[in-house]
Copies of this chain bind each other. A is one copy, B any other.
Amino acid sequence: MSTMPEVNPARLLTSIADFAAIGATPAGGVNRQALSVEDRTARRLLAERAFARGFTVFQDEAANLFLRRDGRDATLPPLLIGSHLDSQPTGGRYDGALGTLSAFEVLEALADAGVETDRAIEVVAFTNEEGSRFSPGCMGSMAFAGAGNLSDWRRARATDGALLADELAATLQALPEARMRPIGHAISAFVELHIEQGPVLEREDVPIGVVTAVQGTKWLEIAFSGEAAHAGTTPLEFRKDPMGAAAAAIARIQGDIMPADPAARLTVGRITAEPGSINVIPSRVSFTVDIRHPDAAALAAMDRRVREECEAAGARWGCETAIELRVDMAPGRFAPEVTAAIEETCRALAIRSRPMVSGAFHDALFVGRVAPAAMIFVPCRNGISHNEAEFVSDAHIIAGARILLGVALRLSAA
């Protein structure tokens, strides 16, 4: 005997407040870094709530945490929903936690209503998404998807000196009631609810973003080397001015690339001139370029364009140009069947949505390599994230959880 399942707003908001208390900072944020004592406390609280509802709790060797509500057919791979529980050192209470706790609310709502789904639904909290204590971020989801090498990462040291292998083992041991399972078990699909971490939904007053892709990212470091000389006594024809080269190159790439392609992102966040005196032509100017695009070919073209403009500007100003690629992350395109399920749910519930591309990495990027995946974004105030001031309105929290529940119902059907 089942009724129509409904999200319980009070329970979800209380749950978010409960978890925000674990690692709470005086400024209202959260310091719950991956595999820390606070992270273990949060994992235990979630596991205990799962046990209380009769769900099964699993861990894998990357300490990814799974909370399973069985379905009608145990032979079908489960639907996976969730996000992560770790935070930045001065993080907000919604980044990661909102998606994990909304997914757990979906399980509870289904249990409350006595709904039996065809497939099992599993809630996941992936390990170390933030990467602030141990590098790289998205470690748990990468290991789950067979990307990257957990054996190598085990030797990583935290800034506080802790060894990843030790912290992983201690985290797993802190939850002995959980069953160990092999990493990377089959799933039917993955849906991750997350805050947007950008300004678009709020400014357009749209409560739900249907995330169709995650941008690819490349980080370049450019250095022009010229010749330091006296600002007053050196005529133009004797100058080898790396500042001239840098300004020309940055102006060209910033002036052209984003205006020509709304999906492109290009940021110069850091620049340094040496020796850095008012009346000395610099000997060296270096800067960073962060380029992102949802399309791999377009991202490669941006990379070529940046290199060409820099080489040309360096040559024009008589400088040597050095370009290094620091980060190279391919774009991910989410599964149309999953984004379609999200859009249909929005229509069915009469909640406005818009398709969008994620500018930041997420666990779903990696899980999407082994299973159909997509994400649901909700607005956050002023686009602020990775910051104790991070804020999501109650209405948007509830709307997001309702969409996730609807999607879970659709995708757990055989």
Chain A interface residues toward B at CB < 8 A: 196-200, 203, 215, 217, 219, 229-236, 238, 241, 243-244, 246-248, 250-252, 254-255, 258-259, 262, 265, 267-273, 276-282, 285, 288, 290, 292, 326, 358-360, 383, 385
Contacts and interface: CB of A to CB of B under 8 A. Distances in A.
22 contacts: A196-B233, A197-B233, A198-B230, A198-B232, A198-B233, A200-B233, A217-B232, A219-B278, A229-B383, A232-B359, A233-B359, A233-B360, A234-B383, A235-B262, A235-B265, A247-B268, A248-B255, A250-B251, A269-B273, A270-B277, A278-B288, A278-B290
Contacts of A203: 238
A199 B229 CA distance: 9
Contacts of A197: 230, 233
A243 B259 contact: no
A236 B258 contact: yes
Contacts of A259: 236
A234 B199 contact: yes
Given A278-B288, A360-B230, A273 B273 contact: no
A273 B265 CA distance: 19
A271 B270 contact: no
A230 B385 contact: yes
With most chain B CB atoms within 10 A of its CB, the pick from A199, A272, A285 is A199
A94 to B, nearest CB: 15
A267 B285 CA distance: 13
Contacts of A217: 232
A267 B239 CA distance: 10
Contacts of A235: 198, 200, 262, 265
A243 B268 contact: yes
Contacts of A267: 231, 241, 243, 278-281
Contacts of A280: 267, 269
A167 B248 CA distance: 48
With most chain B CB atoms within 10 A of its CB, the pick from A229, A265, A277 is A265
A280 B255 CA distance: 18
With most chain B CB atoms within 10 A of its CB, the pick from A197, A232, A326, A359 is A232
Given A198-B230, A198-B233, A267-B278, 9 more contacts: A200-B238, A230-B383, A231-B359, A247-B254, A248-B255, A268-B282, A269-B277, A269-B281, A271-B272
A371 B278 CA distance: 31
Contacts of A285: 271
Given A199-B229, A265-B231, A383-B229, A270 B276 contact: yes
Nearest to A259: B236
B271 A234 contact: no
Contacts of A200: 233, 235, 238
Given A232-B292, A269-B282, A385-B230, A254 B258 contact: no
Contacts of A359: 230-234
B271 A273 contact: yes
A247 B222 CA distance: 15
B262 A254 contact: no
Contacts of A277: 269-270
B243 A254 contact: yes
A234 B268 contact: no
Contacts of A269: 231, 243, 273, 276-282
B278 A232 contact: no
Nearest to A232: B359
A232 B360 contact: yes
A361 to B, nearest CB: 8
A384 to B, nearest CB: 9
